[in-house]
Amino acid sequence: MSEQTLSTPNSITLRQFDYFVSTVRLGSMSAAARKFGVTPSAMSQQIGALEVALGRKLFDPQSRRSSLTKFGREFFAQASTVVDHAYQALAIGQSFSDGVLTIGTTSTIAHKLMPPLIYRLRLQCDIDNIEVRSFGTMYDLGAALDRGTVDMAIGPLTRSSAKFVHTIGEEELVVACHRSQESRFDGTWQRLAEVPWIGYTNSSDIAKTLVQESGRANVEIRYVVTAPDVPTALSLVEHGIGIALVPKMALHNCSRLLSVTRPAPRIKRKLSVHVKDMSPYIEKFLGVISDMELVRKFRAAGLLEVR
């Protein structure tokens, strides 16, 4: 049997694999381009170069890179495995660190829920070496857990490769508005749709929820600006630019210029801890986060809803 190598007349790069796989997984080239911080045309050129090197089309030419060819489907199955394994290999240097507990979560949980948890871990469990990483989407958070970049993931994850999943409560999503506007709203989407909104990138889970809920109410949201994360969205609301859908806990100890409207029906999503492999540090963390006294304090402070 002859031995094959990865060398080709036109060199294929891992970046091209990554661009192609992300385009398929995210559903569009524009979404994948935002993920990598490049223009859609630059990404299209790289995927085009990959097709030239392969000698076959990956996308149906009539679909504007939204529908895979038969070869494209087969190639994606193999390429996605290559990309995932490459990320796992690259993550070894980042994740392999004795005595460090690495926690991946959302920006809101990192800002609001993690400080009191870390205080308890240091006080009760003598754990000092903790690293918190913030992720913009649940896809990125779940991928980090799958690659081993983080030891555990905390957030509204609906699926992951975790062997252990522990539900800690519920997160309520509310509409943040400037205090001068609070009398305008009664919780109905019809009234909420009358004012400009601050949106998020299309890959954001909150953005998808906003589209879903406003669609159910048969109203059209008018966006005036796109925010990269919840803290930025709240800052824009504070300056009177628009209103935004945010986790309720994000408003804990925030500016007095901000007010809250609960859309009807109320929007809640489950918060869970996802873990692939247990360790003494993770067991201690789960013991702290399951403490009923701490959970009651979180609920009283408006940080967490208890199911």
Whether 130 contacts 81, CB under 8 Å: no
Report the pLDDT value the prediction gives residue 2, as an integer from 0 to 100.
Answer: 38
Of the candidates 123, 108, 96, the one whose C-alpha atom is nearest the C-alpha of residue 247 is 108
The pLDDT assigned to 9 comes to 47
**Residues 218, 264, 199, 169, Cα dihedral to 10°:** -130
Give residues with Cβ within 8 angstroms of 55, minimum separation 6.
none
> pLDDT tens digits for 79-106?
888 888 887 777 655 544 455 789 999 9
pLDDT tops 70 at residue 117: yes
Q: Which residues pair with 178 in a beta bridge?
A: 258
Write down the pLDDT at residue 98. 53
pTM over 0.85: no
- Report residue 281 as tokens: 């540090």
Q: Is 215 left (phi over 0), alpha (psi -120 to 50) or beta?
A: alpha
280 or 238, which is more confident?
A: 238
Between these two residues, 64 and 107, which has the higher pLDDT value? Answer: 107
Look up residue 173 and give its two tokens.
């999503």
pLDDT digits over 18-68, tens only? 999 998 888 888 888 888 888 888 888 898 888 888 888 998 877 666 688
Residue range 269-285: mean pLDDT, rounded: 89
In the chain, which ranges are continuous DSSP H helix?
Answer: 14-26, 29-36, 40-54, 70-95, 107-112, 114-125, 138-147, 189-192, 205-216, 230-238, 280-289, 292-300
Rg over CA atoms, the chain: 22
Instruction: Summarize pLDDT for 139-153 with one digit per residue, the tens.
Output: 899 999 988 889 999
H-state helical runs in 27-69: 29-36, 40-54
Predicted pLDDT of residue 93: 55
Long-range (24+ apart) CB contacts under 8 A made by 200-205 are: 200/226, 200/227, 200/228, 200/229, 200/233, 201/34, 201/136, 201/226, 201/228, 202/30, 202/31, 202/34, 203/26, 203/31, 203/34, 203/35, 203/136, 203/137, 203/139, 204/136, 204/137, 205/137, 205/138, 205/156
pLDDT at 259 over 60: yes
* CA dist., res. 195 & res. 209, Å (int): 18
Q: What is the mean pLDDT of residues 221-250?
A: 94
For residue 80, give both structure tokens: 């996605």
What is the distance between the alpha carbons of residues 46 and 15, in angstroms, rounded to a whole number? 8
Q: What is the percentage of the chain residues whose pLDDT exceeds 90?
A: 40
- The CA distance from 149 to 131, in Å, is 11
C-alpha 103 chain-centroid distance: 14
pLDDT band per the 50, 70, 90 thresholds, residue 4: very low
Q: List the one residue out of 138, 136, 157, 147 whose CA is nearest residue 102.
A: 147
